[in-house]
Amino acid sequence: WWDLTAPPLASPPMGLYPGSEEAWQVYSTASDPDGRCVCAVVAPARNLCKRDHRGRQLSLLTQQVQNVSQSVEGVHLRTSRDLRHFRESEPLLRGVDGRLHANRLLVAAAQELKGQVTQLQPLLSTADQYRSDVRTLAALRGELLNLSAVLTAMQEEVGAYDYEELQRRVLLLETRLHSCMNKLGCGRLTAVNGPITVRASGSRFGSWMTDAMIPSSDSRVWAMDGFYRGRRVLEYRTMADFTKGQNFVQHLLPHAWAGTGHVVYNGSLYYNKHQSNILVQYHFRSRSVLLQRSLSGAGYNNTFPYSWGGSSDIDLMADETGLWAVYTSILNAGNIVVSRLCPRSLDILRSWSTGFPKRSAGEAFMICGVLYVTNSHLAGAKVHFAYNTNTSTYEYTDVPFHNLYSHISMMDYNPRERALYTWNNGHQVLYNVTLFHVIRTDG
């Protein structure tokens, strides 16, 4: 039995996002049938195994000390050189000044010389100041040398760890962990963990997402503000860029959308065309519509929305098993229908009628072929209904979650990230989920 958990160990950022580069993630925990702990594996997030911030700070501090030492050394050399000249000139100045005072009968030339010497007399006190500065610089040099030695020793101690070898071992472990995760059967939702507010932007209603299928190396984020007749899709390069609202390009869809039930799947945006039950596939790279197909019998234009309204009649989503449409029709008496779609043709591969009234649902999402429905879109919401398409059975659940901003207008699961993306009253919020897994082994 496995309880696969992916919440960060600390508040954002980013565990999952927005990423503190020092954050850690629990990839998996395991226990035997008696409930005893077998292992707990903790690994750094992908590509974050590098010299820790203390080592970097130590290296920077050492470099700064070296720079200061070089500057002090230069000042010391110049001061010592100037002081040597003063020391050589001081006896001459004092001797000439004494002879001029002793002999009052010198010629006018001597009087002129005395005037010049008088102008030079302040240099005698300057020489005394130079002596003091040299002593201070010598003491400072000694302290810097001692500090440099200490920092060098500390850096050597920190550097004694083979970070490259550690990185190789952690990446190997991470690969093994992901391989193990891929071997796990799909899990049952047991918890929705605390919300992570990524950004506050846009209107009260909208949707945002990452691609549910492409490799994790592609970290683009898409945002679509509003639910009615929108056409503008913003594509951000990374989650960090989305958080800051920078580095984005705009896609202007040829057909307006309805609702917030859009999904990005394998490089394409799938959405419901405004005032119709037509599904549209828009390809981001070619910036063109690849496919349009009617979802036969599906209600639209606020006929069978979720409880919050917003033309949310058709909700497209993806999970570990593929692309889905959640909707209803008059023939189904307004109860939720779940259909699995072919991404290439948008044909319905199979449909299930859940018996749950769609207008009573706050929002819904798919995980591992199971439809999970929330009882409300407002504060105090929880996941309280689950329909399993694998067994064509349903159950009532009690999985609470913190509806931080009290009005969710979009809630979708991303199987690649193992997280729920929500648009909550103008805030873009993430929830990590806890799945309960059963491992089946031969024999």
pLDDT over 90, % of the chain: 53
Q: Lowest-pLDDT range, 14-18, 48-52, 291-295, 406-410?
A: 14-18
Cα 152 to Cα 158: distance, rounded to the nearest angstrom: 10
Amino acid 181: pLDDT? 58
Tens of pLDDT, residues 177-221: 666 655 555 789 999 999 999 999 999 999 999 999 987 678 899
Mean pLDDT across 1-27: 38
The answer for residues whose C-beta is within 8 angstroms of residue 196's C-beta and 6 or more apart is 8, 11, 12, 13, 14, 15, 16, 17, 18, 429, 430, 431, 432
Q: Whats the size of the chain, residue-wise?
A: 443
CA angle 380, 338, 224 (to 5 degrees): 65
Cα 230 to Cα 150: distance, rounded to the nearest angstrom: 62
pTM value is 0.62
- Asked if residue 86 has pLDDT above 70, the reply is no
Phi, psi of 385, rounded to the nearest 5 degrees: -145, 140
- Asked if residue 298 has pLDDT above 80, the reply is yes
Tens of pLDDT, residues 159-176: 655 666 777 777 777 667
Element (H, E) at 16: none
Amino acid 19: pLDDT? 37
Cα 418 to Cα 25: distance, rounded to the nearest angstrom: 12
